[in-house]
Amino acid sequence: MMKQDAILFIDVDDSASIRYSYREPHFVAARAKGLVCLTAGLAGRKHLQRLQDDSDEVFLLDTLNEPAILDLVGELDGRYQIRAIFCQAGHSSALGQVGCIVAQASQRLGLVYSCPQAIAACNNKYLMRRALSQHGVRSVPFALCNDEQQLQQSAERMGYPLIAKPPFGGASAFIKQCFNWAELSRHYAQFRSGHANAAYADFYGCEHSLSDEDGQQRQYIPGHSLLLEGFIQGIEGSVECVIVGGHVHALLINEKLMLTERSGTVLENLLICPPTSFTDAQCEQIRQYAGDCLRAVGLTNALVHFEFRMTEAGPVVIEINPRVGGLYVNAAFRDLAGIDPYDLYLSLLLGEPDLNARLQACAHNIASASQHYSMLALYPEHSGQFKGIEGMQFLDEHPAVLEYFQQEPGNCIDADIEEHYLLKCWAKVDDAADAHAVHDAIRHNLRVIIDSKV
């Protein structure tokens, strides 16, 4: 019997509401390439049907580690030729760092893989800052703290204002700019008491040791460990990058036109692509700097969502995510670069030979683009149960709106500790002022319904 070519996705998202759309669009692209789509998850999952809905077969593992994945691939060998194993590498679950586990298993099997140590450094912002410091790449002061005493001592040494956030995490949970010790100690208390209630609590990973440059062991403890970073002053943006082997293509630059600070999170309300505030020379500098950072952490074979702020001294990294960006980054790839990022990532994992040439063509498409696009999101104004949005027909009739997506109603959300976008839109705009006008019109014409009594 001929073995069928297949890909294997390792899924660790077992939350009440789906937190990211990652497996599904990759499977759509994989089927277009004639591949069988297999999923493995942990036995005892609560939301098994979700995996069964779009997988050709689902396999349940007793443990999530490298030997378990290798054993599964061995069992499948009679029927399938596994061409690639992948996951949402930015999800560091309480079961362990699935990105690192998948990378190690892929490496062992001779498949295309990302450097496991680099994935660890991307997901743990303390390790990321340390790698940049070791390679002399522009960054900010930083400190990993596990209790109030360490926080206070480190903050006094670094000086205010500073940013306090979990070293691991998702959805901008528990991020705050602090101007003094009273604010920082209050934020730490909120983090300690509320971290387990975050929808993205699983992203904190599990407790483990980190060895420092001086050979000292440091503990990372989910819900205790907080990272302090020097505050970065400037316009915020992101770069969507593709790394083939070790060759970095820094492609799309998004500029964040509007950010909102809540008590424990920072929300991205409005972005524009291509950017309107950065000069061509600055865009070139941003691309160069993103490449320097990615080489410093050692990341290979990945799509990367790279966040930065443009300071007077040049761009400074905020975080490096070893995955395709959220909101409508997929639409930006499609409409500006002329490529499907999910198909692109599979091409990378399958080792297709013409990728660098295809990416150079993408860069050319982006450079010659005259149309601007905007991503915008609506967030809850207060906590409660999300009931839905009234006035959605306004989006259907708006000539600028190309695509939109509303979150499933029914979930209870905490508006103050993490990012919950209730609606995201992708729109055609003329410039930054037009992007703001579209955002304001949508906010004015749609009504978010949240029952705060629940």
pLDDT tens-place string over residues 203-216 = 666 666 776 666 67
Query: Residue 126 in contact with residue 210, Cβ under 8 Å?
Result: yes
Q: Which CATH class is domain 370-454?
A: alpha beta
| pLDDT the model gives residue 438 | 93
Name the 3-class secondary structure at 435: helix
Measuring CA to CA, which residue among 374, 448, 376, 375 is closest to residue 415? 448
Q: Does the bond joining 322 to the residue before it have cis omega, within 30 degrees of 0?
A: no
Q: Can you say whether residue 15 is alpha, beta or left, with left for phi > 0 and alpha for psi between -120 and 50 degrees?
A: beta
Asked if residue 166 has a cis previous peptide bond (ω within 30° of 0), the answer is: no
Cα-flanking dihedrals φ and ψ of residue 247, to 5°?
Answer: -85, 120
Residue 343, phi then psi, degrees to nearest 5:
-65, -40
Q: Rounded to whole angstroms, how far apart are CA atoms 218 and 222?
A: 13
**Mean predicted lDDT score pLDDT of the chain:** 88
Distance, in Å, from the CA atom of 162 to the CA atom of 184, rounded to the nearest integer, reads 9
Where helices occur in 88-238 by DSSP H, the ranges are 98-108, 116-123, 125-134, 148-158, 181-194
For the stretch 82-125, pLDDT in tens is: 999 999 887 777 777 889 999 999 999 999 999 999 998 998 88
Distance CA 251, CA 189 (A): 40
Q: Exposed, middle or buried: residue 258 (CB in 10 Å: 0-12, 13-18, 19+)?
A: middle
* CATH code 3.30.1490.20 for 141-230: yes
**Domain spanning 4-112: which CATH class is it, in words?**
alpha beta
DSSP letter (8 states) at residue 371: -
Q: What is the pLDDT of residues 149-195, one digit of tens each?
A: 989 999 999 999 999 988 876 656 778 889 999 999 988 888 887 77
pLDDT computed for residue 45 by the predictor: 85
Q: What is the CA radius of gyration of the chain?
A: 22
Q: Where are the domains of the chain?
A: 4-112, 114-124+232-266+273-365, 141-230, 370-454
CATH topology of domain 114-124+232-266+273-365: D-amino Acid Aminotransferase; Chain A, domain 1 (3.30.470)
d(CA 88, CA 99): 7
> For residue 386, what is the DSSP state?
E
User: What mean pLDDT do residues 19-47 have?
Assistant: 90
